[in-house]
Amino acid sequence: MPYDSLPELIAREHPGDGIRIPPELTVPLTPRVRALIDTPQMRRLSRISQLGLVSRVYPGAVHSRFEHSLGVYRLALEFLVSLRRDGEFAARVGEADAAAFIVAALVHDIGHWAFCHPLEDMGLAELPRHESVVGVVLAADEIAHVLRSRWQLEPSRVAALIDGTASDPVGILLHSLLSGPIDVDKMDYLARDSLHAGVPYGRHFDQERLLASLCIDFRGRALAITDKGRTAAELMVFARYVMFSEVYWHHAVRAATAMLQRAVWLVRDRIEPAVLMRADDEEFIGWPDARRPARAPRASSRGCSGPGGSSSSGWPRSMPSTTPTSTRPLPAARIATRRPSPSTWPSGCPVAWTGRCRPKR
């Protein structure tokens, strides 16, 4: 097989030297994988929450994007093992392409910054989408050096697999494994988010059966499944629906999201994209205070805090005015005091069924 000699696939068979992540999984490591996850760009993900404000409702949901990235990397190896039984996939994807896919799975979230999903939904021109900065982050000196010297890969190739700009047939195919109706990202985050949130919804699909049914479609350009995986695929789509309904879009999470968005809207004139997009959770939380104009303490007849006076830290005890500090009106379509729950969820699952896959050789 063309990519059987990949060190990561060999390490998968002997996982003694690896990282343990929930739920009781060992992520195989090789020297070049270690070099990649030890870069500052990857270590930063350990300080960014995977679910952000969801932890206000589900206190166990405090896992990081770094943990999720390791889980996606592990699943990428499982995808390659399953798909090498598909003769067409094995004929198209060589060792260099398989290595690029492994790296793309590991670093796919490298463009994320703290709370980027709810802030991107605001549509502020100052804040580009996180997918658009992946190429810039991968081109940074240290991680670019690791990719070129340890993996013999160009950062631009890895970025193209992640953001979907790859135009060659193999690149399009590998992108479908990273972002599609059934992909390594969704398969990990549904189960992992469900585990940490303490709910069963995202784990109610047969992952093993789904992996065994993977193939590529009749055009050879996208991931598909055999008919034996149909029920498992449908259960995964339904698991995603329930996770959105009960976890990601829980009514209290929507309320917290609205408050975060309004807070950012009020200080939007002072947003520094280059600073904000590098921020981890702690840096983001400290960002508004660092840019707040100094407030003079209110005078108190007794020289200490009291009704209407100020505390020892200089903050007024009375509630501040709710009038926005900006003269620009709030766009009702983007900022809401009560985030509505979507009434329907498209599955986005054009999966190929019986007769659509190439036979396994």
* Angle CA 275–334–295, to nearest 5: 50
Block residue for tokens 């007769």: 355
Q: Which pLDDT tens digits describe the chain residue by residue (361 residues)?
A: 578 889 999 999 887 789 999 999 999 999 999 999 999 999 999 999 999 999 999 999 999 999 999 999 999 999 999 999 888 898 999 999 999 999 999 999 999 989 988 888 888 887 888 888 899 899 988 999 999 999 999 999 999 999 999 999 999 999 999 998 899 999 999 999 999 999 999 999 999 999 999 999 888 888 999 888 999 999 999 999 999 999 999 999 999 999 999 988 888 888 888 888 888 888 888 775 655 554 444 443 333 333 333 333 222 233 333 333 334 444 444 443 344 444 444 444 444 544 445 444 4
pTM: 0.81
Tell me how far apart the alpha carbons of residues 90 and 183 are, in angstroms, rounded to a whole number: 18
What is the pLDDT, as a whole number, of residue 288?
Answer: 59
Tell me how far apart the alpha carbons of residues 240 and 345 are, in angstroms, rounded to a whole number: 9
Tell me how far apart the alpha carbons of residues 16 and 39 are, in angstroms, rounded to a whole number: 23
Backbone angles phi, psi at 358, to 5 degrees: -70, 145
Distance of alpha carbon 232 from its chain centroid, rounded?
Answer: 23
The SS3 assignment for 26 reads strand
Asked, for residue 346, whether it belongs to a domain, the answer is no
Amino acid at 285: I
Distances (CA, A) of 165 to 2, 96, 200: 25, 18, 35
Block residue for tokens 């766009």: 331
Handedness of CA 107, 111, 116, 121 (dihedral sign): negative
Asked, for residue 286, whether it belongs to a domain, the answer is no
What is the pLDDT, as a whole number, of residue 1?
Answer: 53
Buried b (16+ CB within 10 A) or exposed e, 96-107: ebbbbbbbbbbb
Block residue for tokens 């802030």: 119
Largest CA distance in the chain: 88
Asked, for residue 70, whether it belongs to a domain, the answer is yes
Tell me how far apart the alpha carbons of residues 221 and 231 are, in angstroms, rounded to a whole number: 23
7 closest CA partner among 84, 102, 71 = 102
Asked, for residue 146, whether it belongs to a domain, the answer is yes
Distances (CA, A) of 269 to 192, 266, 323, 325: 37, 8, 16, 11
Six-digit token string for 182 = 């059934």
Tell me how far apart the alpha carbons of residues 329 and 121 are, in angstroms, rounded to a whole number: 18
Is the CB of residue 284 less than 8 Å from the CB of residue 114?
Answer: yes
Give the number of other Cβ atoms within 10 Å of residue 52's Cβ. 23
Asked, for residue 342, whether it belongs to a domain, the answer is no
In terms of phi and psi (left: phi > 0; alpha: psi -120 to 50; beta: otherwise), the region of 214 is beta
Asked, for residue 149, whether it belongs to a domain, the answer is yes
The domain total for the chain is 1
Domain region containing 229: 7-251
DSSP state of 269: G
Tell me how far apart the alpha carbons of residues 315 and 180 are, in angstroms, rounded to a whole number: 49
Tell me how far apart the alpha carbons of residues 172 and 157 are, in angstroms, rounded to a whole number: 12
What is the pLDDT, as a whole number, of residue 126?
Answer: 77
Asked, for residue 22, whether it belongs to a domain, the answer is yes
The SS3 assignment for 45 reads helix
What is the pLDDT, as a whole number, of residue 292?
Answer: 54
Asked, for residue 265, whether it belongs to a domain, the answer is no
Block residue for tokens 């994007």: 65
CATH number at residue 38: 1.10.3210.10
Tell me how far apart the alpha carbons of residues 355 and 230 are, in angstroms, rounded to a whole number: 13
Six-digit token string for 274 = 């280059």
239 closest CA partner among 191, 196, 197 = 191
